[in-house]
Amino acid sequence: MSLHQGLKESKDGISTSLRALQNVTSTTLPSTLPALLPGLPESLAQLLLKVHNDSTALSLSFKPPITRHAALAQLAKVNESFGRVCACVVAATGGQTGGALVEEWKDGVEAIGAELVRLLDVFIDAEKQENTSANAQSSSSKDDNPYLLHTGLVWNRIDRISQDLSSTEVQAATKRWKSQGEVMKDAWTEFKEFMEEQDEEVEDGEDDGPDFDDEFAELDEMMQGGKMSPEERARAEAVKPLFGLHQILHSTIPRYLPLLVLEPEEPYSRLLDASSALTAAFDSAIEAMYPDQDEEEVDSAVSSLGRRSLGLIKTFRDRLDRAIGDEDRRSQCATFLTKWEDRLQKEQGAWSERALSVSSLKHALPQ
């Protein structure tokens, strides 16, 4: 077999293995999830390490002068090890569509496969160029390996999934939850920083005028999100306690997710959907607070945020009622949720009062 043919067959083999993963997840999930085969996560971790080592050996085998037999042997090893990795993902489904764990494994393995295909494309292009130049191999430095960069991308993808590989459904759900929480945390941090910048502008007396051309001053103001009116600033300050409360709820829930494990285990999709809805509502509410606020839009966004948080708590409790966990931890969780709801009611009342005060401020300001 020629080297070109071997590369093409290897690329086709990787693509075939990837196609086996197409139907392992679905928007329609089973009511219960099958138990993982004993040792399956450990097997996947070992096979990922083998793909890492085999891809390294493959890259080195293409270091000039290339030995066709050695390169073909390494191509076969990469195909075999990657195929076995894909088989682990399929095995985790138990013959049906998988939940958060299977989706995590699938996404990670598909990313590895995509990088392997790109690496093989680099080999194919290099092999074509070598065939068009009789002196290509002799003119290459023995220490020159243009494939290491692309091999490094394969390593990075393998490391991403290997370093924090979920072995249970609740671990995968928790990881997804925290990923959603990072979006919420970023929006909250940006909003607080924006408010701090507004305070600094007032203290610095920026209203006296910028030291540079008006055109650049306007551009800078646009990049910073604009300047708040006194009414907008008051409204934003008034809603900050509510925003902080919702952020606390979302960031605290992960510590209690292990209490929700069921036997047999069920997908966490309803809970993750509720989490996603809350983060989207939080982002919309934050967005509504930037300059050029619309009072009705702000009120609607804040109300929607409250409903999403309460909906999340209901979904959490529905599952908690069916789970059997540590009684002390369950009691601690129940206390937290009850106190949070009480605090929400209090802060929503305070927000309504502050909102009325802000409206009064609006009418008091000169038009």
pLDDT one-digit tens code per residue, 298-327: 999 999 999 999 999 999 999 999 998 889
CATH code, domain carrying 151? 1.20.1420.10
Regarding whether 321 and 301 lie in a shared domain, the answer is yes
Measured from the Cβ of residue 303, the count of other Cβ atoms closer than 10 Å reads 14
* Per-residue CA distances from 214 to 167, 224, 291 (Å): 58, 15, 19
Instruction: Classify residue 180 as exposed, middle or buried by CB count within 10 Å of its CB (0-12, 13-18, 19+).
Output: middle
Span 222-251, pLDDT tens digits = 545 578 888 999 999 999 999 999 999 999
Regarding whether 98 and 39 lie in a shared domain, the answer is yes
Tokens of 235: 């409204």
Q: What is the pLDDT of residue 26?
A: 83
Confidence of residue 143 (pLDDT cuts 50, 70, 90): very low
Q: What is the pLDDT of residue 363?
A: 52
* 136 or 295: which leads in pLDDT: 295
Q: Is 25 helix (H, G, I), strand (E, B) or coil?
A: strand
Regarding whether 150 and 181 lie in a shared domain, the answer is no
* Position 287 pLDDT exceeds 70: yes
Regarding whether 180 and 60 lie in a shared domain, the answer is no
* Position 51 pLDDT exceeds 80: yes
Boundary residue ending a domain (165, 185, 207):
165
Boundary residue ending a domain (165, 199, 219):
165
Regarding whether 314 and 211 lie in a shared domain, the answer is yes
Q: What is the pLDDT of residue 96?
A: 86
* Position 141 pLDDT exceeds 90: no
Regarding whether 193 and 72 lie in a shared domain, the answer is no
* Position 19 pLDDT exceeds 80: yes
* Position 115 pLDDT exceeds 70: yes
Domain ranges, residue 342? 170-364
Span 196-224, pLDDT tens digits = 888 776 565 554 444 545 554 554 555 45
- What is the average pLDDT across 278-294? 95
Q: What is the pLDDT of residue 248?
A: 97
Regarding whether 98 and 175 lie in a shared domain, the answer is no
- Exposure pattern of 195-208 as b/e (b: 16+ CB <10 Å)? beebeeeeeeeeee
Q: Is the peptide bond before 366 cis (omega within 30 degrees of 0)?
A: no
* 34 or 200: which leads in pLDDT: 34
Tokens of 152: 């490094």
291: left (phi over 0), alpha (psi -120 to 50) or beta: beta
Structural domain count, the chain: 2
19 contact partners, CB below 8 Å, separation of at least 6: none
Boundary residue ending a domain (165, 192, 219):
165
**CA-based max dimension of the chain:** 86
* Position 345 pLDDT exceeds 90: yes
Regarding whether 230 and 137 lie in a shared domain, the answer is no
Q: What is the pLDDT of residue 178?
A: 96
Q: Which residue has the tokens 């083998």?
A: 50
- What is the average pLDDT across 8-25? 95
What is the separation of C-alpha 254 from the centre of its chain, rounded to a whole number of angstroms? 15
189 contact partners, CB below 8 Å, separation of at least 6: none
The C-alpha atoms of residue 18 and residue 20 are separated, in whole angstroms, by 5
The C-alpha atoms of residue 334 and residue 337 are separated, in whole angstroms, by 5
CATH code, domain carrying 304? 1.20.1410.10
Regarding whether 186 and 143 lie in a shared domain, the answer is no
* Position 133 pLDDT exceeds 70: no
Tokens of 35: 């138990």
Q: What is the pLDDT of residue 282?
A: 98
* Per-residue CA distances from 318 to 155, 251, 281, 315 (Å): 42, 19, 22, 5
In the chain, the percentage of residues whose pLDDT exceeds 70 is 85
Q: What is the pLDDT of residue 308?
A: 98
Phi, psi of 182 (to 5 degrees): -65, -35
Regarding whether 199 and 152 lie in a shared domain, the answer is no
Mean pLDDT for all residues in the chain: 88
Regarding whether 52 and 137 lie in a shared domain, the answer is yes
Q: What is the pLDDT of residue 52?
A: 97
Q: Which residue has the tokens 């989207």?
A: 280
Q: What is the pLDDT of residue 197?
A: 86
* Per-residue CA distances from 191 to 178, 247, 264, 288, 293 (Å): 20, 12, 42, 11, 14
Regarding whether 349 and 204 lie in a shared domain, the answer is yes
Q: What is the pLDDT of residue 227?
A: 85
Q: What is the pLDDT of residue 361?
A: 52
Q: What is the pLDDT of residue 134?
A: 45
Q: Best-predicted range by mean pLDDT among 124-128, 313-317, 350-354?
A: 313-317
Confidence of residue 65 (pLDDT cuts 50, 70, 90): confident
202 contact partners, CB below 8 Å, separation of at least 6: none
- What is the average pLDDT across 22-46? 92
CB 239, CB 303: distance < 8 Å: no
The C-alpha atoms of residue 348 and residue 227 are separated, in whole angstroms, by 26
- What is the average pLDDT across 163-180? 96
Tokens of 27: 């928007």
